[in-house]
Structures are given as structure tokens and as C-alpha cells.
């Protein structure tokens, strides 16, 4: 790890950084019944556009050049002394969960921006360009799957496959994306990642941990070693809607009753005494959704995660059969909507993160990520890693999600040093 450039760490401005974070948190802010301030900033929404415009204004003032690719991934570029070299990439996502917190995703983008600004203010020269990226639709809340921007950038999926996916209002992804790109027609358009251009030199993502480990172990910095695998399924149980008072049980095709049987059977499939496996059913829709009509349709989502790919594949591949076997009177359609294999960050970036934390005298520990991130899809195309900072009680995807100005500044100082290190390799 090269010595810390003089005053680089000091150039990270904690007050300015927190101010920027709070300005972003205004966009989609709401107060929940307990008084916590949350954020609801869906991807490709007006709020998302406002957040991007706010960032673009700051970036222009800081002397960074902006560009956008056809998936809406937004890039802010700090030129290197050799602009022909592959850039070091940093960033995260600006979209939030519907009942989200103020830090998930957006901090990684603002941390990248503050780190680059500090490098420029400290006069640190970098051979390689550095680009700060805001990936499109990481959460997958408005449109499933998640990580659309980073998946398309890394060549995992032809973006056209998602155009027809609609949100709850029936707006197709392709239409929402076109509207966003039209609103940013003043920005230069750039090629789509490795699909149409060269790979970046490395990728580093800063993110709140979204778990309790760092706080419990009183660590300032998480040196992330990898990310567990995730699979998403949408299950439609199709029965027949009928009168709740007149239809005998033997004649019913009750979609809710069969959904409950299917979920019970899945709980058995996913039972894990070691408590490593994560199986979640959290979104349920019923039609016609009235108390006195037997449900004709029940739709539920499955979010299934595991760090071991063999388990992720075996248990995930068994889901459809277990559901079909559990049904009494209905039929089922099971569609996989997201599949991210476990990612191992290897040595290059984690070692650089650890060296930077050490050289700044910060308490640090290595840990895997339970949450998925855009970084998962960069692993096959370049050295990749993440920097975690603690969040209060490990809570995330909830308005009470919180990180302190000091914690964020410490993470950004490590990021700045890692970027300076990698961009001079
Ligand atoms: O769901 C996740 O793991 C991420 O926070 N979107
Ligand atoms: Mn609350
Ligand atoms: Mn996130
Ligand atoms: Mn999230």
C-alpha cells in the first residue's frame, strides 16, 4: 500500500459529506409511525431523476464529466494522467426500498463522489481515470430482478429482456427507462460496459453493512470477502374464484389454501438447523382479494439465499417440485426472476481495503455480505471488493436504518486511499 498521499485523509470533509447525504435523503423522505425518517425513492421515478440531477450539479462544480449508458447507469469521471488506461470504478445504487432507509445504496455513490473530490482537493495524481457509477435498479423493488444496471453492464443479460416487465401501475420498464434517458439527453451517451467496450481495471463499492457484525465487534471498517448467492422466484397459484358462503369445500379451487400448503412445504425444504440459509416469503397478492369470495389467484415471492452454490442450486431447483406436490386443487406457475451465484472477492481489493484501514489506524474485520450488491456482477470482469461501515443495530430496508457521520467519513477515507492505490497500479 503506497503511503497515504499528504492530507488526502484530511481532505475528506465529514460535514460536507453528511450534508450531501442528508440532501439526498430529502428526495423521497417520509416519517414512519415511530418517528424514523425513511426514504422511498423507486428506480427510474421522478425522485430518482431529481437525485441524479442533484448529483450531476455537484459533479459539474467539482470538475467531473458525466455520461450515461443505455441502461441508465450514470458515470462521473475524474480524468487520470493517462486517459487511455482502464478506469477504477466505484459507486453503488441510488434507488431505495419502498420502506427504505437513508443510507442503503446512496451512500456508496456519495462516498465515491466525496473520495474523488478529496483526491482532487489534496492534489493526488492518479495514473488511471476514476469513475463513480450509480447503477440502475439495484433493489428490484419496482421492477424485478434487482441489479439490472450492473448485470447488463457486465454482460449477464441482454437488457431488452426486461423492457416488458411492468410495475404495480402497469408501467413497463422499457418505457420508464426511455423517459429517464430522454430527461438526461443533455449527457453524452456511452457504450454499455463490457458488452460494447473494455472492462474497468477494478471496482470498489462502499456500503453500510446492513447487518449487526461490525457494531457487535466494534469495528469501524468491514473488509468484505464476498457475497452469498441469491435466487428470486414468483409463484402464481391458480384456482377458481367462488362464493364464500355457497361453495362446498369439495368443489373449491381455493388458491389461498393451496398457497399456504405450498409455503408450509417450502419451509420444510428450506429447514436449516445451522441457520445459514435465508428463505423469505414477503410479498403476497390475492385476487379478487375480498373476504366473501374464494381466492382464484394467489401470487407470492420467494427470496432464497445461501453462501454455498451447491446448496443454492440444489434447494432452489427443488422449489417448483415441492410446490406442485403440495397443491390439492389448484395449478401453479413458478418463474425464476433473479439468480446471483455466490461471489468471492479474492485478494486484490480486500487486501487494499485492509491495508488502507490499517494505515489509518481503523479497527477492521473481514466478513461476507448477506445482502446482494452490484459488486456481485463485477467479480467475473475485474478485481472487485467492498468496504462496509457499521449501521445501528444492523437494521436496513427500514426507516430506522442509521449510520453516523463519523462512520461514513471513516469509510470514505478508506475508499479514497484504496482508489488512489488502485488508480496508480
Ligand atoms: O436485497 C438485498 O440484499 C439488497 O439490499 N438489495
Ligand atoms: Mn420505525
Ligand atoms: Mn444496497
Ligand atoms: Mn437494499
- Judged by DSSP in three states, 133 sits in strand
Radius of gyration of the chain (CA): 23
| DSSP bridge partners of 88 | 130, 202
Helix (H) or strand (E) holding 287: strand 284-287
Strands 221-227 and 278-280: unpaired
Strands 202-208 and 384-389: parallel
53-80 pLDDT tens trace = 999 999 999 999 999 999 999 999 999 9
**Is residue 42 lining ligand 1, measured as CB closer than 6 Å?**
no
Q: Are residues 136 and 16 in the same domain?
A: yes
Strands 284-287 and 242-243: unpaired
Reference 114, options 209, 22, 13; nearest CA is: 13
Reference 180, options 258, 267, 303, 74; nearest CA is: 74
Domain of 311 in residue numbering reads as: 229-340
The predicted structure's pLDDT at residue 159: 74
Distance in angstroms between the alpha carbons of the first and the last residue of the chain:
10
The predicted structure's pLDDT at residue 130: 98
Reference 133, options 402, 407, 377; nearest CA is: 377
Q: Are residues 249 and 309 in the same domain?
A: yes
**Distance from Cα 395 to the centre of ligand 3, integer Å:** 12
Find the length of the chain.
425
- Which positions of the chain have pLDDT values less than 50? none
Whole-angstrom distance, CA of residue 423 vs CA of residue 129: 7
Atom of ligand 1 nearest to the CA of 372: 3
Whole-angstrom distance, CA of residue 143 vs CA of residue 45: 12
Domain boundary among 295, 324, 340: 340
Atom 5, ligand 1: residue with shortest CA distance: 371
Tell me if 19 is assigned to some domain.
yes
| Number of compact structural domains in the chain | 2
Cell 434517458 belongs to 181
Q: Are residues 222 and 351 in the same domain?
A: yes
Atom of ligand 1 nearest to the CA of 370: 3
352-394 pLDDT tens trace = 999 999 999 999 999 999 999 999 999 999 999 999 999 999 9
Q: Which residue blocks in 62-142 are alpha helix, DSSP H?
A: 106-121
Q: What are phi and psi of 57, to 5 degrees?
A: -65, -45
Q: Are residues 248 and 217 in the same domain?
A: no
* CB half-sphere exposure, 220, CA atoms < 13 A: 20
Atom of ligand 1 nearest to the CA of 138: 6
CATH code for the domain in which residue 166 is found: 3.40.630.10
Are the C-beta atoms of residues 118 and 132 closer than 8 Å to each other?
A: no
Cell 485523509 belongs to 9
Residues with CB in 5 Å of ion ligand 2:
32, 34, 36, 399-400
Atom of ligand 1 nearest to the CA of 303: 1
Tell me if 3 is assigned to some domain.
no
Choosing from 97, 373, 376, 394 the residue with most ligand 1 atoms within 8 A of its CB, the one to mutate for a pocket test is: 373
The predicted structure's pLDDT at residue 371: 98
Tell me if 193 is assigned to some domain.
yes
Q: Are residues 88 and 113 in the same domain?
A: yes
Whole-angstrom distance, CA of residue 155 vs CA of residue 195: 5
Choosing from 138, 278, 282, 374 the residue with most ligand 1 atoms within 8 A of its CB, the one to mutate for a pocket test is: 138
Q: Which ligand is nearest to the CA of 32?
A: 2
Choosing from 95, 99, 146 the residue with most ligand 1 atoms within 8 A of its CB, the one to mutate for a pocket test is: 146
**Is residue 135 lining ligand 1, measured as CB closer than 6 Å?**
no
The predicted structure's pLDDT at residue 6: 64
**Distance from Cα 177 to the centre of ligand 3, integer Å:** 20
Atom of ligand 1 nearest to the CA of 371: 3
Strands 242-243 and 331-340: unpaired
- Judged by DSSP in three states, 92 sits in strand
Domain boundary among 321, 340, 359: 340
Domain boundary among 340, 357, 384: 340
Q: Are residues 93 and 233 in the same domain?
A: no
Tell me if 321 is assigned to some domain.
yes
**Distance from Cα 204 to the centre of ligand 1, integer Å:** 17
Q: Are residues 204 and 63 in the same domain?
A: yes
What are the binding residues?
Answer: 93, 104, 139, 207, 397
The predicted structure's pLDDT at residue 160: 79
| DSSP bridge partners of 168 | none
The predicted structure's pLDDT at residue 2: 67
Does ipTM surpass 0.85 in this model?
Answer: yes
CATH code for the domain in which residue 265 is found: 3.30.70.360
Whole-angstrom distance, CA of residue 389 vs CA of residue 159: 32
Q: Are residues 53 and 64 in the same domain?
A: yes
Amino acid at each position: 500500500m503506497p503511503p497515504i498521499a499528504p492530507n488526502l485523509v484530511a481532505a475528506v470533509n465529514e460535514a460536507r459529506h453528511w450534508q450531501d447525504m442528508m440532501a439526498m435523503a430529502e428526495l423521497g423522505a417520509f416519517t414512519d409511525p415511530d418517528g424514523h425518517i425513511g426514504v422511498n425513492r423507486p428506480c427510474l421515478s421522478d425522485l430518482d431523476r431529481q437525485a441524479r440531477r442533484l448529483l450531476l450539479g455537484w459533479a459539474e462544480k467539482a470538475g467531473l464529466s458525466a455520461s450515461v449508458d443505455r441502461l441508465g447507469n450514470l458515470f462521473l469521471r475524474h480524468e487520470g494522467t493517462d486517459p487511455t488506461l482502464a478506469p477504477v470504478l466505484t459507486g453503488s445504487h441510488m434507488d431505495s426500498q419502498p420502506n427504505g432507509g437513508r443510507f442503503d445504496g446512496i451512500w456508496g455513490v456519495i462516498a465515491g463522489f466525496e473520495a474523488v473530490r478529496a483526491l482532487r482537493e489534496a492534489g493526488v495524481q492518479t495514473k488511471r481515470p476514476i469513475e463513480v457509477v450509480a447503477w440502475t435498479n439495484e433493489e428490484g423493488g419496482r421492477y424485478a430482478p434487482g441489479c439490472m444496471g450492473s448485470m447488463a453492464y457486465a454482460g449477464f443479460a441482454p437488457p431488452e429482456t426486461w423492457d416488458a416487465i411492468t410495475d404495480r401501475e402497469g408501467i413497463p420498464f422499457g418505457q420508464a427507462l426511455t423517459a429517464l434517458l430522454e430527461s438526461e439527453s443533455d449527457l453524452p451517451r456511452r457504450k454499455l460496459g463490457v458488452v460494447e467496450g473494455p472492462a474497468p481495471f477494478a471496482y470498489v463499492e462502499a456500503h453500510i453493512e446492513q447487518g449487526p457484525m461490525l457494531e457487535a465487534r466494534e469495528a469501524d471498517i468491514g473488509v468484505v470477502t464476498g457475497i452469498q448467492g441469491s435466487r428470486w422466484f414468483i409463484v402464481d397459484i391458480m384456482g377458481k374464484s367462488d362464493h364464500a358462503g355457497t361453495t362446498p369445500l369439495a368443489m373449491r379451487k381455493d388458491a389461498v389454501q393451496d398457497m399456504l400448503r405450498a409455503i408450509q412445504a417450502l419451509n420444510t425444504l428450506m429447514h436449516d438447523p445451522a441457520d445459514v440459509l435465508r428463505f423469505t416469503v414477503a410479498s403476497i397478492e390475492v385476487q379478487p382479494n375480498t373476504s366473501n369470495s374464494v381466492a382464484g389467484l394467489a401470487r407470492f415471492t420467494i427470496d432464497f439465499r445461501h453462501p454455498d452454490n451447491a446448496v443454492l442450486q440444489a434447494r432452489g431447483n427443488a422449489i417448483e417440485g415441492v410446490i406442485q406436490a403440495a397443491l390439492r386443487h389448484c395449478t401453479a406457475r413458478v418463474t425464476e426472476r433473479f439468480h446471483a451465484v455466490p461471489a468471492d472477492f479474492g485478494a486484490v481489493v480486500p487486501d487494499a481495503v485492509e491495508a488502507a484501514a490499517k494505515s489509518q489506524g481503523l479497527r477492521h474485520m473481514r466478513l461476507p455480505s448477506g445482502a446482494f450488491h452490484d459488486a456481485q456482477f463485477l467479480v467475473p470482469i475485474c478485481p472487485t471488493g467492498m468496504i462496509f461501515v457499521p449501521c445501528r443495530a444492523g437494521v436496513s430496508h427500514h426507516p430506522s436504518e442509521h449510520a453516523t457521520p463519523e462512520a461514513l467519513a471513516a469509510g470514505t477515507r478508506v475508499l479514497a486511499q484504496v482508489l488512489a492505490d488502485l488508480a496508480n497500479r
